[in-house]
Structure 1
Amino acid sequence: MRQTVLKSIWITFILLLIFVTTTAAASKEKQRAELRQKTTSTLKMLYEKQPSAKYAIEHAAGYAVFNNTGFKLGILGGSHGRGMAVNNRTGQEIFMKMQEYQAGLGLGIKEYAVVFVFANENAWTSFVEKGWSFGAQATAAASDGVTGDSLDGAVMVSPGVWVYQMTTKGLAAELAVKGTNYYKDKELN
């Protein structure tokens, strides 16, 4: 009798473990599929607003697309989001997160998308492997200063890295200093 009870408990434990593992894997794949769909729709919206971006992204070493939600209330604010980076040469997908902190005057909530374009493999690899943080160093110039390359409608944030930003929903008035971190999503990779 005792062995039967122990076997029943053991079988129940194994079945529960299989169920939890299968559910977690399905949930992760659902999240990945959602990020792929958001990436596709964000790129479509970018191409409608900035047609030259399609050629730039297709011919770049890689790109990353993030969909973010931000808030600003008084002197504090922040944003969070998820996205994915894609290596155009290998097809590799890296799922990532974004976190941003702000100090400055403002009020509002907004949803926005950020699209990074990486001119070379080193820029893409550095972004996905080391993560990336930046604040006020983004410049208004869209030229790399070396080859004369530029992307219409994009801002160069470092050598070989351009960014498009689009507000998708909401309105925010702000004057802020931001610290933004992009890093791998350990749960989805």
Structure 2
Amino acid sequence: MINLIRTIKTKRIMFAAGVLMLVSGCASMGSGTVAEKRDAILTMQDVALAKLYKEKPDVKAQIETAPGYAVFSNANVNIIFVSAGTGYGVVNNNTTGHQTYMNMAEGGVGLGIGAKDYRIVLVFHSQKAINYFIENGWTAGGNADATAKAGQKGMSVEGEGYLGDITVYTMTESGLALQASVKGTKFWPDKQLN
């Protein structure tokens, strides 16, 4: 019986390590020049916005008339009681035309298992909200979702939320996850890309 418990624990640890390596590989910008990394982020942004506009056409006008918006790519893993994720993206200031490339990391506690790759689109409704996000970039809150998606097949629960002067849209690209957690997310400017 003790050997069985050890085997189960070992398998869980190996699974967790494998999923963490997968997630960090998905969220990593990898190698390349600064220009190549910026281009990759802008391509990710274009693809995410095209998908969002297809699903919610009214968001295009909202983004075009807003003071600014941001798009992030994130890979997240949840293993029993712990969740973690990393990602990257760009904040676009529609008033000044300036782009700020940023990183993100999240961690939390809760119940769940699985991994997912998803996009976050934030629409800023004031210049103050853009400045605060770039300078402080911290959010905290609860999260509950179910995802079973690969490419265009499967389904996920996706959402829209409001945080003061920011509207947040999330879209799952792929993954298999069932989780309910309380987590915090830290966003910060990428020193290399800015």
Return the TM-score normalized by structure 1. 0.75
Q: Which runs of 5+ in 2 are unaligned?
A: 1-31, 144-158
| Equivalent residue for 2:170, pick from 158, 165, 171 | 165
Cα distance in 2, alignment partners of residues 172 and 98 from structure 1? 20
Which one-letter code corresponds to 2:83 in the other structure? Answer: G
Once the two structures are superposed, what CA deviation does each residue of 1:20-57 show, in whole Å capped at 9, x if it has no partner? Answer: xxxxxx71110001101111111001101111111111
2:128 alignment partner in structure 1: 122
**Alpha-carbon deviations, 1:91-150, whole Å to 9, x = none?**
10000001000211100010000000001111111111x131111279xxxxxxxxxxxx
Q: Which residue of 2 is the match for residue 101 of structure 1?
A: 107
SS of corresponding position for 1:127: helix
Other-structure match for 2:40: 34
Equivalent residue, structure 1, for 2:154 = none
Pairing 1:14-25 to 2, within 5 Å after superposition: none
Counterparts of 1:135 and 1:40, CA distance in 2: 27
Does 2:164 correspond to 1:179? Answer: no
Residues 1:88 and 2:94 are matched in the alignment: yes
Tell me which stretches of 4 or more aligned residues in structure 1 moved more than 3 Å: none
- Structure richer in strand, relative to its length: 2
The 8 Å contact of residues 131 and 184 in structure 1, kept in 2 or not, is answered as no
Q: State the TM-score, normalized to the length of structure 2.
A: 0.73
% identical equivalent positions: 34
The RMSD of aligned alpha carbons is 1.5
